[in-house]
Chains A and B, each alone.
Chain A
């Protein structure tokens, strides 16, 4: 159990376009979903924390208007990179906390989405 999927797994887009990435918890309801970004050979940097039905909490330095997060249900969160530029090229990973297993502590991660902006 505790499977998290992301779609798409890889996307290439032109500079200036917007890209939407979906994160779904397939077999559990997620209390909270998290969005991370990973640059090559670097650690995962938390971008924002998303609770179902409420506004996302963004980390310092992350532009809210640039990275739009919507958490419409307990199984789906979306990250939209608006007006993407080459510097937004990165590996974006979501994770989710299992509502039933609250107290376990671990987050379950999606497989990631590689965004390449030309």
Chain B
């Protein structure tokens, strides 16, 4: 039973345009959500997070939106750059104390020059 789902395994975007990566979750107990970026043969690197008390968090080119009623979050990258090409994982936890994360299946983003 996948509690965190990323339904798009891949996404291709032109450089300079917006990339939108989506994530859905089923467990209403999740209250903290994170996005990680991962290159092949490397560990994930933290990008941005959002608490369930917010609906938006922005950090530079990255913005995460949370729709609690729909149990849906999205990561917007604008403008997209070729260096953004990687696999993006969303993750959820029950609190923000660094406890267990449940990861989605990942979305491979390809940004074309």
Contacts and interface: CB of A to CB of B under 8 A. Distances in A.
Contacts of A78: none
Nearest to A46: B100
A95 B100 CA distance: 11
Interface stretch (B11-19, B43-51, B68-76): B43-51
A105 B42 contact: no
A105 B43 contact: no
Contacts of B100: 34, 46, 49
Interface in A30-46: 31-32, 34, 42-46
Interface string A41-58: 011111001000000000
B86 to A, nearest CB: 13
Given A43-B89, A43-B104, A105-B32, A112 B97 contact: no
Contacts, number: 70
Nearest to A32: B98
Contacts of A114: 41
Interface residues of B, number: 24
B103 A106 contact: no
Nearest to B4: A43
B98 A91 contact: no
Interface stretch (A12-20, A65-73, A80-88, A96-104): A96-104
Interface of A: 4, 6, 31-32, 34, 42-46, 49, 91, 93-95, 97-98, 101-112, 114
Interface of B: 32, 34, 36, 41-46, 49, 89, 93, 95-106
